[in-house]
Amino acid sequence: METKQLMEKAVKFHGHSCPGVATGVLVAKYILDHDNEFSIDEELVAVVENDNCSVDALQSLLGTTFGKGNLIFKDYGKNNYTIFNRDRKKAVKLSAKPRSFGDRELSREERIQQLLNSNPEDVFEIKPVEFKPPERAQIRESIICENCGEPTMSTRIINYKNKKLCIPCYEQLKKE
């Protein structure tokens, strides 16, 4: 698919046009252009190192979403994207090149156009990486928080003063 069409689809999902979503479109374009290695019909996992607008392009174009558990967010504040294909045991990492985000003199609209006219290789350092995908999300039992009564994933329950508490209740009660 052409970059322009990918952008249209991503903007529809994201709600506005911006340089962030254009950046994510280039990530998705690289993956879609390498469908011999990363077909979206196979089991893809995206590990992203930011939670900015770009991630919505991956959700809408690659089908890597929070709900399905194949979108993993690491809060590193970097425009890095690692895509794994569980079926073929392949992985590739796209890391934003330092200069690609430095054009401060461009307007927002010019920046979007510049990105959309670029190849993924212009904007990202692209390298195959070792196939070490994140573990699959497990379904864990729920425990009732003894303060608010809401069922809470057992791994998020904190024992505090002999009570099993969810995180917000713990944060609240420890202040009292």
* Near Zn ion by CB under 5 A: residue from 47, 53, 115, 123: 53
Site string for Zn ion, 138-157 (x = CB under 5 A): -------x-xx---------
Question: Interface with Zn ion includes 91 (CB under 5 A)?
Answer: no
Question: Interface with Zn ion includes 45 (CB under 5 A)?
Answer: no
Instruction: Work out how close the CB of 120 gets to Zn ion at its nearest, in angstroms, rounded to a whole number.
Output: 19
Instruction: Work out how close the CB of 82 gets to Zn ion at its nearest, in angstroms, rounded to a whole number.
Output: 22
- Long-range contacts at 70-76 (CB < 8 A, ≥ 24 apart): 70/43, 70/44, 70/45, 70/46, 71/45, 71/46, 72/45, 72/46, 72/47, 72/48, 72/134, 73/48, 74/47, 74/48, 74/49, 75/49, 75/50, 75/51, 76/49, 76/50
Question: Interface with Zn ion includes 20 (CB under 5 A)?
Answer: yes
List of residues contacting Zn ion (CB under 5 A):
18, 20, 53, 145, 147-148, 166, 169
